[in-house]
Amino acid sequence: MKQEEATLRFAVQQSIHWMIVGLMIPVITLIFQSKGLNLREIGFVMAVWIGSTTLLEIPLGSLADTYGRRGTYLVSLLLNTLGCFVLYLANEVTFVLLAAALLGASRAVYSGTLDAWFYDAFHQAQGKQTYHSALAKINVAVTIGLAVGSLIGGWLPDIASNSPNVFSSIYDINLLGACIANITLIVITLMLIDDRRHQRNTQPKQVRKNAFQLCTQALKVCWKHDVLSRLMQATVVFGMVLSSVENYWQPYLADILHGTSSGVIAFGAVSALYFIMSAVSSLISVPLLRVFSGLHKTLMFTTRALAGVCFIFLAYTGHLLSFTLCYLLFFFLLTVGNNSESVLLHENTEEKMRSTMLSISSFMVTCGGVLASLAFGVIAERFGISASWIISGALLVLSSVVFIFVSEKRDFKTT
């Protein structure tokens, strides 16, 4: 297999995967409300969803390295399908909580599976591309998938509203659509992803033992490794900042728009521009790496520090135009170094624990999000959203310093 083919296979698979995720993005809160849940209950359900992912992230991540990456990923699709179907049938909060737990577990099982597969498959394939440039293309495919899925997810309820006797809620069509799409993706994944090299012929008891040992070993390596330990420190802060802006940008913008002629369409426009900016940052990261002489750590330090400064400026915006420009620039700077971070993480991780290490990284992002929700929620309530953003921006600037101490060789092969 050539590197171009491996990249195309993974790009197609990931675009479909994230398109399915996008089906739920515009209506997930509305689905919960259609099941009779109030805002307090919805908050509890989301806590169960995120909590199940957090608790299972690392233990289940080692199963992909032990049992097989494609097989583990397919299990996550089955769990996601089951979670969507339970949510479709749910008529009380208990079953909604069960669905949330299944969906959270699905996310934990998925984490680090096919990303690890692609890194290994790419480097075993023939070609002269770099993983960094290939990853940029993959992230564009992911963004397109999310955008298309979100558009379809917002359009499906309109179709259901024209057939009022078919669905008890117009949002049920999104859940059924996700179930059908997941099953279709299972077939597509079997066709596109060849993981025979990582299939294991071990007994269940041995699998559990190996998974536990691998999990423990990966945690020790992560704690002691010069590069990985610093990446994880920065990842926690990244999760905190990401949660801070995602939780509060809508109410902040609502205050800006209060009393103006701008309507809800402004939120949709900003969200759409965010998807575009995410794709642009991934593409620009390739030529930008050349500007920094092939040093990933210098790229990450510079862009993350500037993102922190931009976030502080965002806290002082008071008009729609200034908010939008600052918001998009912040996200561009925050995410343009993600590909470089992924490269360093993969390069410093042994193949046998690659999925486990990716799960640990995802766990750190989630932990940062939980910490931000607890701490910045109190700060925002007492002192305002701007105060929480100023603190977040300062933390992002300070955390970017750890990249300076990362050991790295210059990568002049940046195309």
Supply the DSSP string of 213-277, one letter for each residue: HHHHHHHHHHHH-HHHHHHHHHHHHHHHHHHHHHHHHHHHHHHHHTTSS--THHHHHHHHHHHHH
Q: Is residue 115 part of a domain?
A: yes
Span 156-175, pLDDT tens digits: 887 888 776 777 888 899 99
Same domain, 227 and 91: no
Q: Is residue 103 part of a domain?
A: yes
Q: How many helices (H) and strands (E) does the chain have?
A: 16, 0
Same domain, 239 and 145: no
42/48 Cα distance (integer angstroms) = 10
Span 4-17, pLDDT tens digits: 999 999 999 999 99
Q: Is residue 356 part of a domain?
A: yes
User: What are phi and psi for residue 104, nearest 5 degrees?
Assistant: -65, -40
Span 316-333, pLDDT tens digits: 998 989 999 999 999 999
Q: Among positive and negative, which fits the CA dihedral 13, 81, 208, 213?
A: positive
The pLDDT value recorded for residue 211 is 61
pLDDT band at 358 (very low <50, low <70, confident <90, very high): confident
Average pLDDT, whole number, for the chain? Answer: 84
Same domain, 233 and 194: no
Closest CA to 62 of 220, 192, 196, 186: 220
84/24 Cα distance (integer angstroms) = 10
Q: Is residue 193 part of a domain?
A: yes
Domain count, the chain: 2
The predicted model scores a pTM of 0.74
The pLDDT value recorded for residue 415 is 47
C-alpha torsion angle, residues 334, 335, 338, 340 (rounded to 10): -80
The pLDDT value recorded for residue 64 is 73
Residues 6+ apart with CB under 8 A from 278: 139, 143, 331, 335
Same domain, 285 and 182: no
Closest CA to 312 of 393, 380, 254: 393
- Is the confidence at residue 287, as pLDDT, over 70? yes
**pLDDT: is 65 or 359 the higher one?**
359
30 is written with which tokens?
Answer: 């509305």
User: Do the Cβ atoms of 370 and 50 come closer than 8 Å?
Assistant: yes
DSSP state of 128: S
Q: Which domain holds residue 265?
A: 221-409
The CATH number of residue 27's host domain is 1.20.1250.20
- Is the confidence at residue 256, as pLDDT, over 70? yes
- Is the confidence at residue 267, as pLDDT, over 80? no
- Is the confidence at residue 268, as pLDDT, over 70? no
Same domain, 178 and 255: no
**pLDDT: is 62 or 356 the higher one?**
356
Closest CA to 341 of 43, 153, 135, 118: 135
**Mean pLDDT score, 295-319:** 94
**pLDDT: is 180 or 46 the higher one?**
180
106/100 Cα distance (integer angstroms) = 10
Closest CA to 272 of 156, 138, 144, 147: 147
pLDDT band at 397 (very low <50, low <70, confident <90, very high): very high
The pLDDT value recorded for residue 392 is 94
**End of a domain among 201, 235, 255?**
201
